Amino acid sequence: MSALVEIQDVKKSFGSNEVLKGVSIAVEPHEVLVVIGASGSGKSTLLKCINFLETYDEGRIVFDGKLVGYKENDQGRDIAPESETREIRKNIGMVFQNFNLFPHKSVLENVIEGPVQVKGVTKSEAIEYADELLKKVGLADKRDARPSTLSGGQQQRAAIARSLAMRPKLMLFDEPTSALDPELVGEVLATIRGLAEEGMTMIIVTHEMAFARDVADRVIFMDDGIVAEEASPEEIFTNPKAQRTQDFLARVLNQRKVLP
Amino acid sequence: MGYEWQFSVLYQYWPIFVRGAITTLEITLLSALLALVIGLPAGVGKEARMWPIRCVCSVYIEVIRGTPALVQIVWIYYCLPIILGVQLSGKTTMIVALGLHAGAYVAEIFRAGIASVDKGQFAAAKSIGMGYWQSLRRIILPQAVKTMIPPFINEFATLLKLTTLGSAIAVYELLHESNNLIASIYRPLEVYTFLAVVFFMITYPFIYMSLRLERRLKRGE
Ligand SMILES: Nc1ncnc2c1ncn2[C@@H]1O[C@H](COP(=O)(O)OP(=O)(O)OP(=O)(O)O)[C@@H](O)[C@H]1O
Ligand SMILES: [Mg+2]
């Protein structure tokens, strides 16, 4: 089986701050990869490199057989034309910590924006699928509401529906529940778990360790720009090898007891 | 010594003021349109990733803001023909010069408006495959427009008043019409006072609208 995403020795600096120091990860189709790690370890940056919201300096990211963001030539490589990067992005959904719904549009308009404006799907077709998705994430009754009138959990579920509307092959989640009140975390995690059960390929950055253990096929622990440990959820949570993983888990498991 | 005001003598000359006001509004509207067309790319370009674009836009904005509008007008009127061999009519000169002039200020309004929208909105728009201009048009500008409208209206009112500079190159806008009228009826006090009133009547509604909107938006936040 060939990987859907292949990250090969990727390096990335902001000025003199090297944030990714050679990260290699492969994600198989239908796999759920959970990324954990301390604040500032480069998790968000890594996710943004995968759909080229951030450039990367060295290494390669291959999504669905295509190099992300660059065109290679004899001299090295250049930034790929925007149209090619957009083509890749159409197939990668991204869910943000702060939802980033479009506030001037209703929930339904948020969900059909991509299909209609980017993919050129007819409006009626887009609405039909949007209604299906909104039902799936439990927001059928909110389809005409403005995002600002929704709870955080509802906003995040709407954002998930917006991503799914593009029929992506891969979903990226960057701390999807970190901005939520504890009582709203469960509904969002349940939605994500539903996607996992349907076989969606996902990379999820989260601090919800119980959820990670439950939903992940594989867990990666990032520390200071490298993958410090990579293992099955059982292994990493019961028997972490690296000292840094042990320290990190001891710290977060003590202070966070939110169960999905 | 008391001056005997005689506004009634102006009454018969009202067509002159109407004619002048039409020219003034025409120059204002067309140059405002030009300013919008120039301002958006210039404002966006000032933050562009490619440095030559950034450079051109910054130089344009700073040169315009650093020189008086009157100098820009006479430069286009007198220097452009010598350099390029094209002589623009007075009115066209005014439209082009004021369009370029206001464009620099409008660029700043666009830039600030776009910057006022949460960066996450761009990220979200890009993540569903939108291009830069598409995100701007569909996602960013509709949100930025709220903050941009009051300064736009202000800029429009400024533009209206700047049209009087056209008299320097003999464009028949309000001030120039007034000067001509004075030359024939020798009533400068009445004419200039009335001119001020006319300008105030045209300009103030815009200023008032901008104030109202600004207050409403503040309350809305
Ligand atoms: N746009 C940027 N410009 C400069 N530095 C940045 C930028 N984005 C991130 N960084 C830096 O890169 C490092 C890694 O950031 P990143 O957001 O990837 O970490 P993270 O693992 O997602 O952390 P958190 O758990 O807090 O979200 C941090 O030191 C951060 O300050
Ligand atoms: Mg992060």
Q: pLDDT per residue over B120-164, tens digit each?
A: 999 999 999 999 999 999 999 999 998 899 999 999 999 999 999
Question: What is the per-residue pLDDT across A52-75, written as a single tens digit (0 to 9) for each?
Answer: 999 999 999 999 999 999 999 999
Instruction: Give domain status of residue B125, yes or no.
Output: yes
Give the domain extent around B37. Answer: 7-220
Which of B118, B127, B146 to substitute to test the interface with A, most A CBs within 10 Å? B127
pLDDT at position B211 is: 87
pLDDT of A182-209, one tens digit each?
Answer: 999 999 999 999 999 999 999 999 999 9
Residue A165 Ramachandran class (φ > 0 left, ψ -120 to 50 alpha, else beta): alpha
Query: What's the mean pLDDT when you consider all of chain A?
Result: 95
Q: Which residues of B touch A54 (CB under 8 A)?
A: none
What is the pLDDT, as a whole number, of residue A252?
Answer: 85
d(CA A244, CA A168): 34
Least confident residue range of A33-47, A246-260, B141-155, B163-177: A246-260
pLDDT for the residue numbered A259: 47
Mean pLDDT value across residues A199-220 = 96
Chain B residue with CA closest to A82: the answer is B131
Q: Is residue B147 included in any domain, yes or no?
A: yes
- Please list, in sequence order, all residues whose beta carbon lies within 8 angstroms of the beta carbon of residue B198, skipping any fewer than 6 positions away: B17, B21, B174
Query: What's the CATH number where B44 sits?
Result: 1.10.3720.10
Mean pLDDT (10-residue bins), chain B, 221 residues:
86 92 95 97 92 96 96 95 92 97 97 96 97 95 92 94 93 93 93 94 90 80 54
Number of independent structural domains in chain B: 1
Query: Exposure string (b/e) for A81-113, b if CB count within 10 Å is 16 or more?
Result: eeebbbebbbbbbbbbbbbbbbbbbbbbbbbbb
Q: What is the mean pLDDT of residues A218-237?
A: 95
Q: Is the pLDDT of residue A260 over 80?
A: no
ipTM of the complex: 0.92
Q: Does B57 reside within a domain?
A: yes
For B121, name the nearest residue in chain A, comparing CA atoms only. Answer: A100
Interface of A with B (CB under 8 A): 48, 51, 53, 82-83, 86-87, 89-90, 92-94, 96, 98, 100-104, 113-114, 117-119, 159, 162-163, 166
Question: Is residue B2 a part of any domain in this protein?
Answer: no
- Report which bound ligand comes closest to the CA of A15: 1
Tell me whether residue B207 is in a domain: yes
DSSP 3-state of B101: helix
User: How many other C-beta atoms are found inside a 10 Å radius of the C-beta of residue A210?
Assistant: 15
pLDDT tens track for A71-104: 999 999 999 999 999 999 999 999 999 999 999 9
pLDDT band at A255 (very low <50, low <70, confident <90, very high): low
Q: How many CB pairs under 8 A join A and B?
A: 61
**Candidates A52, A117, A162, A175, partner chain B, best to mutate (most B CBs within 10 A):** A117
